Homo-oligomer: A and B are copies of this chain.
């Protein structure tokens, strides 16, 4: 009884024939267009499953939270790039995305990783006492190696990050405020207790926890920030095309940075 070996180059995402385009098993023109919104289709593209009504509400909210954060380094890089290569809008978006790394979008990934490693998705039911113990151990481990617990605190949004209660409320409304949301809250409280500082859960901590409720592998969580920010950056580039600021920024920085050399 022979079996055909799996081909080495093999993708399950999509295929086309002359009269069909099928993504994740769905006929794109007939089963998707007009029937789904962009967030739901992103869910389908990434997971291969159709979002339930609750997942749709929650996943759209997560992605929307990540679209636009003001005049970030990422937006500035995109605008600088567009000023030099306006014929390559795609390269300006790409430049803006390149900086979504460990510093700015990483804390979301780090929160998801922390939670899913402290309490694996395959774990059996845990009691509240278990969660409290896990929270204590987790915070202690971060403190022992001098690392910052991800997903806590915010330089501007004080005393609370206004996105957090709203995201947690949506999680509760959609049946997704389970053990990971609980654990994130316990970790926040324990980090405050242990450090003596006010450390409210920020948006990336809330999103990291909700990503665990979805069961997403932590490695892909950064991707949500990347795809959402691509939308935000197109908005910045559109505005840069109409009301440019890149050249003015350049000249100011150039002038100031080398003033001491020009003497």
Task: Tell me the A residues contacting B by CB distance below 8 Å.
Answer: 7-23, 28-30, 32-34, 36-42, 45-46, 56-57, 60-61, 63-65, 67-74, 76-77, 80-105, 156-158, 160, 162-163, 165-167, 170, 173, 217, 219-220, 222-228, 230-239, 241, 243, 245-250, 253-254, 256-262
Q: Are B84 and A104 in contact (CB under 8 A)?
A: yes
Q: Are A238 and B220 in contact (CB under 8 A)?
A: yes
User: Lowest 7 A-B CB distances belong to which pairs?
Assistant: A85-B101, A84-B99, A230-B230, A38-B39, A37-B37, A223-B234, A81-B99
Using Cβ atoms and an 8 Å threshold, which residues of chain B touch A230? 93, 97, 226-227, 230-231
* Assembly CA distance A32 to B28 (angstroms): 28
Q: Are B99 and A80 in contact (CB under 8 A)?
A: yes
* Assembly CA distance A217 to B242 (angstroms): 11
Q: Are B227 and A231 in contact (CB under 8 A)?
A: yes
Using Cβ atoms and an 8 Å threshold, which residues of chain B touch A170? 33-34
Using Cβ atoms and an 8 Å threshold, which residues of chain B touch A226? 89-90, 93, 230, 234
| A204 CB, min distance to chain B CBs, angstroms | 13
Using Cβ atoms and an 8 Å threshold, which residues of chain B touch A97? 90-91, 93-94, 97, 230
Number of identical monomers bound together in the oligomeric complex: 4
The verdict on A12 contacting B73 (CB below 8 Å), with A37-B40, A94-B91, A99-B91 known, is no
* Assembly CA distance A9 to B87 (angstroms): 23
* Assembly CA distance A23 to B261 (angstroms): 10
Using Cβ atoms and an 8 Å threshold, which residues of chain B touch A32? 64
* Assembly CA distance A222 to B11 (angstroms): 26
Q: Are B77 and A61 in contact (CB under 8 A)?
A: no
Among candidates B13, B17, B100, residue contacting A68 with C-beta atoms closer than 8 Å: B13
Q: Are A254 and B71 in contact (CB under 8 A)?
A: yes
| A169 CB, min distance to chain B CBs, angstroms | 8
- Listed A/B pairs (27) with beta-carbon separation below 8 Å: A8-B248, A9-B249, A9-B256, A10-B245, A10-B256, A13-B236, A14-B261, A21-B163, A33-B163, A34-B57, A34-B61, A37-B38, A38-B38, A38-B60, A45-B67, A70-B258, A72-B254, A74-B81, A76-B250, A77-B81, A77-B95, A83-B99, A85-B91, A87-B88, A89-B226, A217-B238, A245-B257
Using Cβ atoms and an 8 Å threshold, which residues of chain B touch A20? 162
